[in-house]
Structure 1
Amino acid sequence: MLLVDPDPADAVGGGRVRRSVRDWVVDALCFAIAVVVGLMSYDTAMRNDPPEMVQLLDLVVGAIACVALWWRRRWPVQLAVAAAIVGTVVASIAGATMILLFTVAVHRRYVVAVAIALLNVASGLVFYGVYPDLDLSYRGMLAFTVLGVVAITLWGMFVRARRQLVLSLRERAHQAESEAALRVERARHLERERIAREMHDVLAHRISLLSVHAGALEYRPDAPGDDIARAASVIRSSAHQALQDLREIIGVLRAPSSDDDLDRPQPTLAQLPALAEESRQAGMRVSLVDELTGDDAEPPPAVARCAYRVVQESLTNVRKHARGTGVCVTLAGGPGDGLEVEIRNRLPVGSATRSEIPGTGTGLIGLSERVELAGGRLDHGITPDGDFRVRAWLPWPA
Structure 2
Amino acid sequence: MDRDGRPGPGRGRQFLLLAAAAAVGVPVWLFVGVLLHRLDGDPGGWFRTGDPLVAVGCLLALLWRRRFPLTVAMTVVIASTASALATGAALAALCSISTRRRPVEIGAVAVAYVTASQLAADLYPVPGSPAPVWYSLALAALTAGIAAAVGMAVGARRMELRSLRERAESAEREQAARAAQARFRERNRIAREMHDVLAHRISLVALQAGTLDHVTDLATAESRALVRGIAEGSHLALEELREVLGVLRSDAGRPEPPQLSADRIPDLVADARASGLDVTLTTDVTGTPADAVGRTCYRVVQEGLTNAAKHAPGAPVHVTLEGGADTGLAVTVRNAPAAARPARRPPVSGFGLPGLTERVGLAGGTLRHHPTPDDGYVLVARLPWPHPTREASV
| CA shift in 2, pair 1:138/1:10, >3 Å | same
**Residue 30, structure 1, aligned to residue 21, structure 2:** yes
What is the CA distance between 1:212 and its match in structure 2? 1.3
**Residue 329, structure 1, aligned to residue 319, structure 2:** yes
Equivalent residue for 1:199, pick from 191, 194, 198: 194
**Residue 65, structure 1, aligned to residue 58, structure 2:** yes
Equivalent residue for 2:135, pick from 122, 134, 140: 140
Counterpart amino acid of residue 44 in structure 2: E
Equivalent residue for 1:291, pick from 278, 284, 307: 284
Contact between 1:42 and 1:92, CA under 8 Å: does it hold in 2?
Answer: no
Contact between 1:38 and 1:91, CA under 8 Å: does it hold in 2?
Answer: yes
- Name 2:106's counterpart in structure 1: 113
Contact between 2:73 and 2:90, CA under 8 Å: does it hold in 1?
Answer: yes
- Name 1:363's counterpart in structure 2: 352
Counterpart amino acid of residue 347 in structure 2: P
What is the CA distance between 1:59 and its match in structure 2? 4.2
SS where residue 99 of structure 2 aligns? helix
Contact between 1:327 and 1:344, CA under 8 Å: does it hold in 2?
Answer: yes
- Runs of 4+ deviating beyond 6 Å: 44-51, 129-133
- Post-superposition Cα deviations, 1:300-348, rounded to whole Å, max 9, x if no partner, equal 3x43222212211111101111233332323344457654322223344
Q: Measure the CA separation in 2 of the matches of 1:363 and 1:355.
A: 19
| CA shift in 2, pair 1:354/1:55, >3 Å | same
- Name 2:267's counterpart in structure 1: 274
Counterpart amino acid of residue 379 in structure 2: V
Counterpart amino acid of residue 354 in structure 2: I
Contact between 2:247 and 2:256, CA under 8 Å: does it hold in 1?
Answer: no
Normalised by the size of structure 1, how large is the TM-score? 0.81
Counterpart amino acid of residue 238 in structure 1: G
Counterpart amino acid of residue 272 in structure 1: I
- Name 2:308's counterpart in structure 1: 318
Contact between 2:24 and 2:87, CA under 8 Å: does it hold in 1?
Answer: no
- Post-superposition Cα deviations, 1:118-160, rounded to whole Å, max 9, x if no partner, equal 3323434544577677564211221222222222212211111
Q: Which shifted more, 205-214 or 27-36?
A: 27-36
| CA shift in 2, pair 1:27/1:262, >3 Å | farther
Unaligned segments of structure 1, at least 5 residues:
1-5
Q: Which shifted more, 111-120 or 152-161?
A: 111-120
Contact between 1:34 and 1:66, CA under 8 Å: does it hold in 2?
Answer: no
Q: Measure the CA separation in 2 of the matches of 1:45 and 1:93.
A: 17
Equivalent residue for 1:341, pick from 306, 320, 331: 331
Unaligned segments of structure 2, at least 5 residues:
388-394
- Name 1:382's counterpart in structure 2: 371
Counterpart amino acid of residue 174 in structure 1: E
Equivalent residue for 1:77, pick from 67, 70, 77: 70
| CA shift in 2, pair 1:237/1:298, >3 Å | same
- Post-superposition Cα deviations, 1:200-223, rounded to whole Å, max 9, x if no partner, equal 121111111111112222233432
| CA shift in 2, pair 1:286/1:205, >3 Å | same
- Name 1:3's counterpart in structure 2: none
What is the CA distance between 1:197 and its match in structure 2? 1.5
- Name 2:390's counterpart in structure 1: none
Contact between 1:211 and 1:357, CA under 8 Å: does it hold in 2?
Answer: no
What percent of counterpart residues are identical?
39
Contact between 2:21 and 2:91, CA under 8 Å: does it hold in 1?
Answer: no
- Name 1:164's counterpart in structure 2: 159
- Post-superposition Cα deviations, 1:339-366, rounded to whole Å, max 9, x if no partner, equal 432222334467x666554332442122
